[in-house]
Structure 1
């Protein structure tokens, strides 16, 4: 027999197995009692005996536990109910979530450490209302409340995708503060009171909001490069697309008279500037918010209406 090979019929006592595996007798007994270690025939005195398969499995269990895998996942791997790759992938997701939560806690604590007593009380109230890491349910609820009723699910889903910012996984203290203020803003906006009603949301104006929001999505995308380049509001494809979205939603032609009326209506619509300001603080300068794109297009429309082409 080759050197170093363990005879397949070799068995060890519980103490010998523990010593070979580098664990305590208590650990071997714990795993054995839970059915994770195969036992061989007991000794004449009734004591447990373990073979090479138990030693190999015990080493595997110890390695998996050292990686933080809970016993149910260890059992899944050993019993073949789940592959090691699947279990490790699940653990990586869990660890990632834990790290994100720790980063949010660290940034929140730094936010409180970097201010005076008067600011600290306000900031503590704000960050204390957030989970770590925070979720976006309150923001989505705000938009569902603000949007007109009976919108198609696909349109609502796209609006939420564009308007609800995702919390960064590694936030700065300033981003924690921005998200906390955003959360407080939308939580207060949805607890009752008068519902904001832009003209395009009113059922008596002949509007089709779903058509409008699909068109605005394209218009905002066309306006975004102009905002990133710092260009002043101007006529062009982005503005034409913007006006066309409103015109199609009302089944009206895009005429100078329509543009003039639309400019006046949009100037009187309720605004949520604070929301978009906080989203910009949270997302950073590289991200163009729909609010910024909307303002740029409204300014371009106002300029166009004030100085129509001859």
Structure 2
């Protein structure tokens, strides 16, 4: 230490346990301000530089990027000879730590997914490995639900309010499990492949969307989907109680959604027409079967998917008409 209490770059490096090159690197990037220069142009640092440099090293050990360290250090007093605990608990450092935690969480999710995918390939019969490799190789780690969201945005009728589209996507798009099993990885990969296909009319121009999605001037899609969401909620309660399809509030709500969207009244004739229309509509049973596999718990009964709930309501409608 010099008579004025300042430290040379070599002494600072020795006290902090780093190389001179490291001190110069952080100094050149503005993280370690100089207190002055000697007559010969050599760098001089104040006594607080030792603690400041140790903090830089601690943040780097947590993999905080240099620009983010600059944000943290910009909130630290440089003339108090130490670190202020109140500052360390401040907003900037909390934001940086929160960002690092999110990044670590993403990395852990990717590792868990890759582990389950590797187990899937290892444990399957040799003749199936090539296919499963292609399936899981097409899915990012951690997996993205964006392809499923795009599928539903193409499937849903136009003119739906944004809040309703968001609610439908939340219910229809499964989230990847936090601790995926190999069977869930396979189901998610197959679901990814299913929704990534081209949604176009089939042979002979066969339509791929339900009749209700081909609106005329009187069609009100928001009324339909608001009503269906309410009907599905009511029917899910019945299904969890293991009740067979039957007439009741859930079915009435289901029919009212279709009737209201067309400006029609709920009548026996309308129910018969609706039953025939829904029976002839294109189906995406494969989608819902895969969603059920992705969401299936390790133990206990699976939660009913909207597709399964729709089938329960349609069965209740058919049974009522047959009576």
**TM-score normalized by structure 2?**
0.87
- Post-superposition shift, 1:94? 1.0
Indicate the RMSD between aligned Cα atoms, in angstroms.
2.2
Write the mapping of 1:135-174 to structure 2, written as runs, cut at 5 A. 135-174=144-183
Name 2:304's counterpart in structure 1. 288
Question: Is the Cα–Cα contact under 8 Å of residues 222 and 237 in structure 1 kept in the other structure?
Answer: yes
Q: CA deviation at 1:205?
A: 8.8
SS in 1 for 2:37: coil
Unaligned runs of 5+ in 1: 1-5
2:31 corresponds in structure 1 to 36
Give the 5 Å matches for 1:60-209.
60-80=55-75, 83-190=92-199, 193=202, 195-204=207-216, 206-209=218-221
Q: CA deviation at 1:202?
A: 2.2
Cα 1:192–1:263 shift into 2, 3 Å: closer
Structure 1 residues 15-30: aligned runs within 5 Å:
15-30=10-25
User: Would the aligned equivalents of 2:35 and 2:46 in 1 still touch at CA under 8 Å?
Assistant: yes
Aligned residues: 302
User: Secondary structure at the residue paired with 2:139?
Assistant: coil
For the 8 Å contact 2:32–2:49, the answer to whether it is kept is yes
Moved more, 74-83 or 222-231: 74-83
C-alpha separation between the residues in 1 aligned to 2:113 and 2:207? 33
* Cα distance in 2 between the residues matched to 1:114 and 1:227: 35
Q: For 1:263 and 1:157, locate their aligned partners in 2 and report how far apart those are by CA, in whole Å.
A: 28
Flag as ranges the 4+ runs of structure 1 deviating above 6 A. Answer: none
- Residue 130 of structure 1: CA displacement? 0.8
Offset of 1:286 from its aligned partner? 4.0
- Separation in structure 2 between the aligned mates of residue 246 and residue 260 of structure 1, nearest angstrom: 12
- Does the 8 Å CA contact 2:199/2:208 hold for their aligned counterparts? no
Structure 2 residues not aligned, in runs of 5+: 77-90
Q: What is the CA-CA distance between 1:91 and the residue it aligns to? A: 0.9
1:168-223 deviation line (CA, Å, top 9, x unaligned):
23211111111100011111143675541312122349532221111000000111
**CA distances 1:137-161 after superposition (whole Å, capped 9, x unpaired):** 2111211222223333333222222
Distance 1:71 1:243 in 2: 60
Structure 1 Cα separation of the partners of residues 322 and 5 of structure 2: 95
Corresponding residue for 1:3? none
